[in-house]
Amino acid sequence: MTQPVRRIIHIDMDAFYASVEQRDNPALRGRPVAVGRSQERGVVAAASYEARPFGVRSAMPSLLAQRRCPQLVFVPPRFEVYRAVSAQIHAIFARYTPLIQPLSLDEAYLDITQPLIRRASATAIAQEIRAAILAETGLTASAGISYNKFLAKLASDHNKPNGQFVIPPGAGQDFVAPLPVSAFHGIGPATARRMNALGIQTGADLRAFPPETLRQHFGKAAAFYHGIAHGEDTRPVEPDRPRKSLGKETTFDQDLIHDHDLNEALQILAEKVWAGCEKRGLSGRTITLKLRHADFSQLTRSLSRQTPVRDQSELLQAGLHLLRPLLPLQKSVRLLGITVSSLCDPQAASGAEQLSLLPSA
């Protein structure tokens, strides 16, 4: 029996955090707004559409954003509000399908191949969802509609803000061909640079690249890259996708150079990460330490255990085990982070004999 063509919608809220702030404070409407802190080490969490013509973008240092747009208004983030609005939006999604895969508070995939509410087309469902979001939250959303997740994600960026776009069956390969690989969801900046060095600039270049050579350079990921270059993506919408990691990081107001300061910072982070693990009833076998230096160079170190971390003390000791070989510091540190991955039920560690820490490959 022939499987029906999948109908996937990618919903992406327009400048979500900034739009919530403009909705709740009429004085901000029509003005360039950045959600974040304007302090020296602040980072822009979101920028309104009025700020974007100045080159202000999310993840940009606040000082740089302010230089680019002197009239930029900074507002502190209110994540509890964003989470509440996100829950409203997801309740709207649930009227149409149980197959919802959140990517973040402001975007999600929906599989409406067999919708709960029948409509003439996926386009009509996307229009109805966007209208409901506007009516119930006062916010606009953009949508991409296609036959797989990769193309739906590309399509949602095609007509922003407050628009939608369809890539119908059979049109994916031609749509992808002229696009730069740096615009592909699933190909990060570092991978895009590696592809560019191999002469792969666009989707058409990626499609023409020999699969075996692609595998030599990119390993298992080559099959996915080869597929999306042809407009193909078999990944399902995963409504109950398990969490892969829990972590915390902090950017310091002043660079750290002394060992004891870094140790203290790591202790605070380990405490926060373990609180998150306990809240979710999770632990993990892999611990990763991240340091970013003042010159923005970055390094990570990981170790894997045969048993999951059992408590906050074990997590801290694992972090210190990774940190010690890096001391004394040769360069000051502006950011420190620690993450637990290979998550599992911590009861798996109950009664288990503690094993030595083994550096991961």
Tell me whether the omega of the peptide bond preceding residue 328 falls within 30 degrees of 0, making it cis: yes
- DSSP secondary structure string, 138-158? S--EEEEEESSHHHHHHHHTT
Whether 107 sits among the annotated catalytic residues: the reply is: yes
Q: How are beta strands 73-75 and 100-104 bridged, if at all? A: unpaired
| C-alpha to C-alpha distance for 340 and 248, rounded to whole angstroms | 9
Whether the Cβ atoms of residue 332 and residue 258 lie closer than 8 Å to each other: no
Q: 174-183: b or e for each residue (b if 16 or more CB lie within 10 Å)? A: ebbbeeebee
Sheet containing 245-256: which strands, arranged edge to edge? 245-256, 333-344, 283-293, 298-304, 358-359
- DSSP secondary structure string, 69-116? -TTPEEE---HHHHHHHHHHHHHHHTTT-S-EEEEETTEEEEE-SS-S
| C-alpha to C-alpha distance for 275 and 290, rounded to whole angstroms | 19
**Residue 102, token pair as written in the block:** 């959140």
Q: Indicate the DSSP class of residue 162.
A: S
| C-alpha to C-alpha distance for 271 and 339, rounded to whole angstroms | 12
Q: 315-347: b or e for each residue (b if 16 or more CB lie within 10 Å)? A: bbebbbebbeeeeebeeebbbbbbbbbebeebe
CB atoms within 10 A of CB 105: 18
Reduced to 3 states (helix: H, G, I; strand: E, B; else coil), residue 346 is: helix
Identified catalytic residue from 107, 278, 314, 353: 107
Burial class (CB in 10 A: 0-12, 13-18, 19+), 280: exposed
The residues annotated with a catalytic role in the active site are: 107
